[in-house]
């Protein structure tokens, strides 16, 4: 049997299914049909819009998984099947992509997410103790929070140590519901968790966007630097 070689992105969903089946018939996972998955209209539209932004549809895999996660709170098997049906890819393929990246959640997590950076600069500024204090405040398991993350018993808050988040200037810091806050103090842990449980913004005054340049506003008057035009 000889196949003319064509990039799989050029194939239709049906052709791709057939190709997979011809290679590994015993393992082949069918690409689900749209009518089998009951994908919500908005999710479908969002994924199709992402597919339209790239020259090759597979590039929309990560945007599609983001869309699934926004909709369901995690990359649920049903959500992945829905995205797979829209994109004409196998669910296993999308699952393999989702499992590579740290921000995709492969299990349901607390509605509010507190990611504490525990890399070098934050560690030197007390990040481990901050993470422990947040565990104490939320009831999340310390050991699990230090190794991949833990849900608080009430299921509302997820607490996790995390690799460098790119905010060593506000160490120790945390990404709370996708926004950066720091430098955080151990004594603020209780208030942070309480605010999240009340669905309000914790420590708003510590939000990164309030922070100006470290060197202040007046630093630097090199004569080689031209004045900015002021209209």
CB 109 within 8 A of CB 73: yes
The minimum distance between CB 54 and other proteins, in angstroms, equals 7
Q: What angle do CA 164, 109, 103 make, to 5 degrees?
A: 35
The minimum distance between CB 79 and other proteins, in angstroms, equals 15
Nearer residue to other proteins within complex by CB, 2 or 13 = 13
Nearer residue to other proteins within complex by CB, 30 or 211 = 211
Residue with tokens 């422990």: 132
The minimum distance between CB 66 and other proteins, in angstroms, equals 7
Strand partners, 179: 176
Decide: helix, strand or coil at residue 124.
helix
Nearer residue to other proteins within complex by CB, 198 or 225 = 225
The minimum distance between CB 171 and other proteins, in angstroms, equals 6
The minimum distance between CB 193 and other proteins, in angstroms, equals 20
The minimum distance between CB 75 and other proteins, in angstroms, equals 10
121-126 long-range contacts (CB < 8 A, ≥24 apart) are: 121/164, 121/168, 121/171, 122/164, 122/168, 122/171, 122/172, 122/173, 124/171, 125/171, 125/172, 125/183, 126/172, 126/186
The minimum distance between CB 1 and other proteins, in angstroms, equals 26
Continuous segment of H or E residues that includes residue 35: helix 34-37
Q: How many whole angstroms separate alpha carbon 132 and alpha carbon 159?
A: 10
Q: How many whole angstroms separate alpha carbon 5 and alpha carbon 104?
A: 33
Nearer residue to other proteins within complex by CB, 65 or 192 = 65
Q: Which two tokens stand for residue 175?
A: 């990404």
Nearer residue to other proteins within complex by CB, 42 or 56 = 56
Nearer residue to other proteins within complex by CB, 2 or 12 = 12
Backbone phi, psi, residue 160, to 5°:
-150, 140
Q: What residue ranges bind other proteins (CB under 8 A)?
A: 53-63, 65-66, 96-97, 100-104, 115, 118-121, 123-126, 128-129, 143, 146-147, 163-171, 175, 178-180, 208-209, 212-215, 217, 219-222, 224-226, 228-231
Nearer residue to other proteins within complex by CB, 75 or 152 = 75
Question: Which residues fall within 8 angstroms of residue 195, CB to CB, at 6 or more apart?
Answer: 201, 202, 203
């Amino acid at each position: 049997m000889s196949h003319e070689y064509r990039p799989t992105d050029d194939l239709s969903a049906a052709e791709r299914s057939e190709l997979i089946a011809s290679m590994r018939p015993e393992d082949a996972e069918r690409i689900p049909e749209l009518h089998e998955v009951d994908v919500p209209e908005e999710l479908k539209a969002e994924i199709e819009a992402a597919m339209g932004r790239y020259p090759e549809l597979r590039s929309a895999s990560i945007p599609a998984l983001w869309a699934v996660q926004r909709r369901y709170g995690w990359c649920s098997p049903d959500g992945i099947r829905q995205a797979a049906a829209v994109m004409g890819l196998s669910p296993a393929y999308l699952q393999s992509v989702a499992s590579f990246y740290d921000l995709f959640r492969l299990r349901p997590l607390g509605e509010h997410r507190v990611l504490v950076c525990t890399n070098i600069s934050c560690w030197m500024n007390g990040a481990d103790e901050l993470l422990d204090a947040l565990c104490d405040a939320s009831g999340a398991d310390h050991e699990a929070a230090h190794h991949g993350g833990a849900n608080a018993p009430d299921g509302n808050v997820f607490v996790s140590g995390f690799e460098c988040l790119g905010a060593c200037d506000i160490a120790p810091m945390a990404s709370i519901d996708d926004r950066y806050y720091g430098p955080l103090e151990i004594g603020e842990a209780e208030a942070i968790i309480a605010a999240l449980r009340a669905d309000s913004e914790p420590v708003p005054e510590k939000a990164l966007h309030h922070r100006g340049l470290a060197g202040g506003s007046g630093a630097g008057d090199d004569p080689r630097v031209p004045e900015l035009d002021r209209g």
